[in-house]
Amino acid sequence: MGEFKLMIEDQGNLVVNIKEKDMNWGEFMYYSRHTNSNYGGWNNKSHWMKMVDFLSGKEEILKIYTEQSFSKPMRDVRKEKFMLDREDSEQRKNVSNSNISDIDENSLSYRLFSSLGNESKKEIRPLGYEIPLSSESDGQLKIDILGYNQSEKALEIIELKKGKNQTDSPFFAYIEALCYGIQLFHCQENIRKEMENLQDVNFDNINLTIAAPEVYYTYWKEDGSIDKIKKINELINRSIPDKKPFFNLKIQKVVETNKKLDDLTILELSDI
């Protein structure tokens, strides 16, 4: 992480000040996560759209953060053991088949990952879950679900939020997915070695998919919020050096089907 100053104001406010030269999307995510609460920080029900409104009109700031995120990795690049062949632990397999609005994120992840691997159309081939992209344990960057979209010839980063998540806004979910996409691009030479039968995978096109049950969007959605997040993504794409990779943003809901897999209802992704 870059240099920062921690200052206390006369009124007792604690202020974190990070110089522009040290800012990137990884820093933005890290400090946003650790300075958030129901009483402050931008990533809450009352204030998250103010950040979206602000940044959607600040192309120069987006350009600076993006260029500096690509100039060097946000965290140390992982060299090996990306856990693409990770076996399910007993804890992970201990999932709930309750309505997806009520289940925890582990259950949602397991059921969606399993569903993607068994859907007849198999548009998205699941490659792994909780994929680590950094050599650090502190501040680790992990992709919830990594897949390969066979029809679009693109890698798919799926950032999941449980239905009753009232602490992480859709914009914060987007920032998480964006950071994973940038770090994955930095890791491409190393992770490619562990992608069986996908040696020709293209890292120039990466889908960033925010996925959650509909009740999540019911809580968080504000008028124009989705369009403004997509606008920010478009501005970021313009700022990427050499225009590679291109991030295609999808904001989708997780829905239940009428099919079963080992007594669990199969899930799929659908546009909101």
CA quadruple 106, 111, 117, 118: dihedral, nearest 10: 170
CA torsion, ordered 88, 93, 97, 98, to nearest 10 deg: -110
What mean pLDDT do residues 163-183 have?
A: 97
Q: Residue 154 in contact with residue 144, Cβ under 8 Å? A: no
Q: Is the pLDDT of residue 181 over 60?
A: yes
Query: What is the predicted pLDDT for the residue at 138?
Result: 61
Torsion of CA 140, 145, 150, 153, to 10 degrees: -30
Q: 98 Cβ partners below 8 Å, 6+ apart?
A: none
Predicted structure pTM score: 0.93
Mean of pLDDT over the chain: 89
Model pLDDT for residues 208-245, shown as the tens digit of each residue = 999 999 999 999 989 999 999 999 999 999 999 998 99
Residue pair 212/160 in contact by the 8 Å Cβ criterion: yes
- Regarding predicted confidence, which is higher, 74 or 90? 74
**8 falls in which pLDDT band (50, 70, 90)?**
confident
CA end-to-end span of the chain, whole Å? 36
Whether residue 3 is predicted with pLDDT greater than 70 in this model: the reply is no
Quote the CA–CA distance of 155 and 126 in Å, as a whole number: 10
Measure the CA–CA gap between 193 and 191, rounded to whole angstroms.
5
Q: What are the sequence ranges of the domains in the chain?
A: 75-271
Question: How would DSSP label each residue in the chain?
Answer: ---EEEEE-TTS-EEEEE-GGG--HHHHHHHHHHT-BTTBSSSSTTTHHHHHHHHHT-HHHHHHHHHHHHHS-SSPBP-S---TTPPPPHHHH----S-TTTS-HHHHHHHHHHHHHH-SS--EEEEEEEEE-BS-STT--EEEEEEEETTTTEEEEEEE--TT--SS-HHHHHHHHHHHHHHHHHHHHHHHTT-TT-TT--TTEEEEEEEE-HHHHHHH--TTHHHHHHHHHHHHHHHSGGG-SEEEEEEEEEEEEEEEETTEEEEEEEE-
How sure is the predictor about 150, in pLDDT bands with cuts at 50, 70 and 90?
confident
Q: What is the pLDDT of residue 87?
A: 81
Burial profile 163-195: b = 16 or more Cβ within 10 angstroms, e = fewer? bebeebbbbbbbbbbbbbbbbbbbbbeebeeeb
Q: Is the pLDDT of residue 39 over 80?
A: no
Q: Which residue has the higher pLDDT, 6 or 202?
A: 202
| Residue 48 φ then ψ, to 5° | -65, -35
pLDDT at 1: 53
Q: Which long-range contacts (CB under 8 A, 24 or more apart) does 94-97 make?
A: 95/264, 97/263, 97/264, 97/265
